[in-house]
A = this chain, B = another copy of it.
Amino acid sequence: MASLSQSEENYLKEIFHLTQLQKEKVSTNSLASRLNTKASSITDMLQKLAEKQLVQYIKYKGCSLTENGEKIAVQIIRKHRLWETFLVNKLNFGWDEVHEVAEELEHIDSVKLVDSLDQFLNYPKFDPHGDPIPDKNGKIPYRKTKMKLVDAGIHKKLEIVRVNEDEMGLLKYLERQNLQLGTKLEIIEKFSFDDSMLVRTELDTTINLSKKVTENISVKIVEN
């Protein structure tokens, strides 16, 4: 089990994420754009990872993770999300400040460290953005009932359970609007001409949210 380079780990992680989004095999170009590299670099690396039995790769057909590759990817995601939780819960980072540092911390290689951190944080199930934190065995506590705000029905009592941390600028925007995980809200009206919606929060403030926003927030129904 020779340990992997940061680069290799990032590739595995990204293949995992892309596989979640669309069920098909992951294309060279999609990886290239997520990893900010050129397609040729992706091809090189995929060949290496295939060699190491971490991905299945068929020329021109894209790739997917092997069982082993997925196991490793999940552990990196576990570390990433635990560190983000640590930074927010213990070191008082804002939720928009943690991702970059977690990108570095996730590569620290020590099982004892990760497990101790997990315990120290009291075995959190979700990170500061509401993403599930895989446990020691790689089990991911997906939320069963969760939908994008854009798809939620009108006049139901909703609670924000997840925000898309990848969406550049969203976190800061939500902070400014006083919207956070756990915030309860209700859709008052949906405007079809620009797909924005008017929502009312607990404090009786009403805000208009654009499609861009409501597509990147997930909620659960609290009551109806």
Contacts and interface: CB of A to CB of B under 8 A. Distances in A.
A9 to B, nearest CB: 13
Nearest to A6: B6
A8 to B, nearest CB: 16
Interface string A81-109: 00000010011110001001100110011
A112 interface: yes
Interface residues of A, number: 18
Interface stretch (A18-26, A37-45, A113-121, A154-162): A113-121
A contacts with B: majority SS: helix
A110 interface: yes
A117 B93 CA distance: 11
A91 B117 contact: yes
Contact of A116 (B92, B100, B113, B117): B92
A116 B101 contact: no
Nearest to A104: B108
Contacts of A90: 120
Contacts of A108: 101, 104-105, 108
Contact of A112 (B93, B110, B112, B120): B93
Contacts of A110: 100-101, 104
Nearest to A117: B91
Interface of A: 87, 90-93, 97, 100-101, 104-105, 108-110, 112-113, 116-117, 120
